[in-house]
């Protein structure tokens, strides 16, 4: 009997609960707007966003269960499904669209209109959701047990713990509270740094460090030691092999794309100027190889979905197996593709629309598998966007669409595909949550589309306000990802992109595939700074220790692992909630600065990097404590 047959959802197919209700839709829309705006600001400041699924689920439980006295886990699930869509649309939009504002400031093009931004984000988000409908069976159902989808699983644990109450809920909310306090001390009060780094002077070009944050520790534990080790392996190759070699052979040379000699670059500078391109090439190659290997499964999935349409098979028509019909899915993608081509507000021609559909499906598949391994928070959407912009700009240049018009069209195409990848990853996590708790798939898919529409309408206003306040590319709003995308497009269009670095990454990915190592997690580790994979490895090692502990029985090992997953779910939720609140505080003006400046104590009291390591060690100790902790019933 396979794992799909063995698996039983929390709410069985024959039990019907309130799900897609007016209350869940309204609350989900509110959270989608809040999370979308806050994450847009956060991503434009630091280049990363916070996954909103678990925070939305926690807030939903607090409002629906505690305040409104309603009791439906499936209703809470719809709220988090709609709410998290805002974060994903924002993530895809902010990595690319600010480049259009920067070109407009330079005088190359006109500032994109609100209608243009809304249409680009709406089309990208809707196509991303539609592409995931036929892939649900292959990636969520058939791969259950093999693709962990850590945040989707964690979100399901949060929902089920809130439903069951007792010690499970206590473990989740203990993690939530501790992570919230920790995040506020680190990034709110700024008493300790959230990133600890050390440059190894005797080994020029190398460095080590970690982002000492609860979510990364939690994701590492949920993913396990094996996946965490692949991520760290990619980081080690980048930071302890390639970067020192660049520092050694580059010496006093100024090598493009850097504008200063290599000897003057810090490890972070070497990484941002060179390793990111190598990592982007590796991620693109890994994605292509992943797609090739999964083509038979994808073709089979489409064939089965088409053959099942109209079938009277009871199993296919059960509540748990009912997706949005395949004919509506194909029609929706076709209508959106034609709309891109015909609507003047979207600067995409027929060739661009075809590129979006082809590459969009490819990256939706890759994104879904990738977040199944490393989680949405570490989904390298920008890496996939870079690969897209490389291909798109080359095609447009070869077809005669050049200059600022060609660059603007390339960014528009890249924006749609970037949003497709972001929303496909988010939809995958949400569908995984729904699969575990027993949600109705078509209602979740409808919820995702509602969240996309609301976010598309509001994200343009957020981008305009932020640009008017600080201007993209400024010190206050550096927009690091969009600046990189702008540089890539200009580099290809002007013929000065560092292709050697990109193809070096492709070569590394091929070697890793030959060695039998999973390429995508390794490539992601190469692309992301080592500061992210190091704390994840700590979480993975903690789980490995308890899984290999010989003195414990199999039942005891399972109990401790479940405790750890519950606690780490709380860690992810706590950091996510406070991250959103801190972003909102940073947007609110107060005096000469922002409201967040009123509780910033970094100038009065700062424990420095040793303090950050001590705090992270204490956080890890709390994880060990809650893993081993027994409630009263278990003690008896």
Domain coordinates in residue numbering, the chain: 3-190+226-533+570-594
Tally Cβ neighbours within 10 Å of residue 548: 10
- The H or E element that residue 479 is part of is none
* Out of 74-88, 228-242, 532-546, least confident range: 74-88
Exposed (0-12), middle (13-18) or buried (19+): which is 589, by Cβ within 10 Å? Answer: exposed
CA distance 376 to 422: 8
Tally Cβ neighbours within 10 Å of residue 233: 18
CA distance 420 to 207: 34
56-103 pLDDT, tens digit each: 777 777 777 766 667 788 999 999 999 888 888 988 888 889 999 998
Query: How confident is residue 510, by pLDDT bands cut at 50, 70 and 90?
Result: very high
CA distance 534 to 229: 9
Burial 552-561 (b: 16+ CB within 10 A, else e): eeeeeeebbb
pLDDT of residue 316: 46
pLDDT of residue 433: 94
CA distance 126 to 454: 11
Angle between helices 554-587 and 530-548 (to 10 degrees): 160
- The H or E element that residue 197 is part of is strand 195-199
Tally Cβ neighbours within 10 Å of residue 155: 33
Burial 196-215 (b: 16+ CB within 10 A, else e): bbeeeeeebbbbbbbbbbbb
How does the average pLDDT of the chain come out, rounded? 84
635 contact partners, CB below 8 Å, separation of at least 6: none
The tokens describing 38, both together, are: 């806050």
DSSP single-letter state for residue 594 = E
Query: How confident is residue 352, by pLDDT bands cut at 50, 70 and 90?
Result: confident
Query: How confident is residue 398, by pLDDT bands cut at 50, 70 and 90?
Result: confident
CA distance 457 to 375: 27
Q: Between 456 and 303, name the one with better pLDDT.
A: 456
pLDDT above 60 (res 292): yes
- pTM of the full structure: 0.75
CA distance 356 to 346: 13
pLDDT of residue 1: 37
| Alpha carbon of residue 524 to chain centroid | 12
Read off φ and ψ for residue 415, nearest 5 degrees.
Answer: -65, -45
Sign of the alpha-carbon dihedral angle for 22, 62, 136, 9: negative
**How much is the CA Rg of the chain, to the nearest whole Å?**
23
* Out of 89-103, 437-451, 607-621, least confident range: 89-103
Tally Cβ neighbours within 10 Å of residue 388: 29
Query: How confident is residue 168, by pLDDT bands cut at 50, 70 and 90?
Result: low
Query: How confident is residue 299, by pLDDT bands cut at 50, 70 and 90?
Result: low
CA distance 473 to 418: 20
The tokens describing 463, both together, are: 């981008």
pLDDT of residue 306: 52
Q: Between 193 and 372, name the one with better pLDDT.
A: 193
Query: How confident is residue 181, by pLDDT bands cut at 50, 70 and 90?
Result: very high
The helix, strand and coil proportions of the chain, stated in percent and rounded to the nearest 5, come to 75, 0, 25
């Amino acid at each position: 009997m396979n794992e799909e047959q063995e698996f039983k959802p929390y709410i069985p197919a024959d039990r019907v609960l309130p799900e897609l209700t007016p209350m869940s839709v309204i609350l989900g829309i509110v959270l989608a707007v809040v999370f979308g705006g806050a994450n847009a600001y956060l991503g434009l400041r630091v280049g990363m966003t916070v996954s909103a699924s678990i925070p939305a689920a926690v807030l939903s439980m607090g409002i629906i269960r505690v305040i409104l006295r309603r009791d439906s886990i499936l209703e809470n699930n719809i709220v988090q499904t709609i709410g998290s869509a805002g974060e994903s649309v924002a993530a895809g939009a902010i990595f690319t669209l600010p480049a259009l504002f920067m070109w407009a400031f330079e005088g190359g093009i006109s500032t994109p209109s609100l209608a243009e931004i809304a249409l680009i984000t709406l089309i990208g988000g809707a196509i991303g959701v539609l592409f995931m409908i036929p892939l649900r069976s292959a990636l969520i159902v058939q791969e259950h047990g093999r693709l962990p989808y850590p945040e989707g699983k964690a979100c399901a644990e949060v929902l089920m713990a809130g439903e069951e109450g007792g010690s499970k809920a206590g473990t989740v909310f203990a993690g939530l509270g501790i992570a919230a306090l920790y995040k506020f001390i680190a990034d709110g009060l700024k008493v300790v740094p959230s990133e600890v780094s050390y440059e190894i002077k005797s080994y020029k070009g190398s460095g080590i460090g970690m982002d000492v944050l609860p979510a990364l520790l939690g994701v590492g534990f949920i993913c396990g030691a094996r996946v965490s080790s692949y991520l760290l392996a990619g980081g080690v190759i980048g930071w302890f092999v390639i970067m020192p070699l660049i520092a050694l052979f580059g010496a006093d040379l100024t090598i493009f794309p850097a504008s200063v000699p290599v000897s003057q670059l810090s490890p972070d500078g070497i990484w941002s100027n060179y390793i990111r391109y190598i990592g982007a090439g590796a991620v693109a190659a890994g994605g292509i190889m992943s797609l090739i290997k999964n083509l038979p499964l994808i073709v089979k999935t489409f064939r089965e979905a088409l053959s099942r349409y109209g079938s009277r098979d009871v199993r296919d028509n059960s509540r748990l197996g009912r997706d949005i019909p395949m004919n509506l899915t194909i029609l929706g993608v076709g209508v959106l593709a034609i709309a891109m081509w015909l609507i003047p507000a979207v600067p995409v021609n027929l060739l661009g629309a075809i590129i979006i559909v082809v590459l969009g499906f490819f990256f939706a598949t890759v994104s879904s598998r990738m977040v199944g391994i490393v989680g949405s928070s570490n989904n390298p959407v920008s890496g996939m966007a870079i690969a897209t912009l490389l291909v798109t700009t080359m095609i447009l240049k070869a077809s005669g669409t050049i200059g600022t018009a060609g660059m603007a069209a390339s960014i528009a195409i890249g924006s749609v595909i970037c949003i497709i990848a972001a929303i496909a990853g988010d939809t995958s996590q949400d569908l995984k949550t729904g699969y575990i708790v027993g949600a109705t798939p078509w209602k979740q898919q409808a919820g995702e589309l509602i969240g996309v529409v609301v976010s598309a309408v509001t994200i343009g206003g957020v981008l305009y306000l932020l640009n008017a306040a600080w201007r993209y590319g400024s010190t206050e709003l550096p927009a690091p990802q969009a600046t990189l995308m702008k540089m890539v497009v200009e580099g290809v269009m002007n013929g000065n992109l560092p292709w050697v670095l990109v193809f070096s990454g492709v070569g590394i990915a091929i070697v890793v595939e030959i060695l039998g190592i999973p390429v995508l997690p390794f490539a992601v580790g190469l692309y992301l700074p080592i500061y992210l994979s190091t704390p994840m490895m700590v979480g993975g090692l903690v789980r490995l220790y308890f899984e290999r502990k010989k003195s414990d029985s199999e039942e005891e090992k399972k109990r401790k692992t479940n405790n750890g997953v519950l606690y780490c779910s709380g860690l992810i939720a706590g950091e996510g909630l406070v991250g959103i609140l801190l972003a909102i505080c940073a947007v609110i003006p107060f005096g000469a600065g922002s409201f967040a400046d009123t509780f910033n104590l970094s100038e009065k009291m700062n424990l420095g990097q040793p303090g950050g390591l001590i705090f992270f060690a204490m956080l890890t100790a709390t994880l060990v404590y809650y893993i081993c902790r027994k409630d009263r019933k278990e003690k008896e």
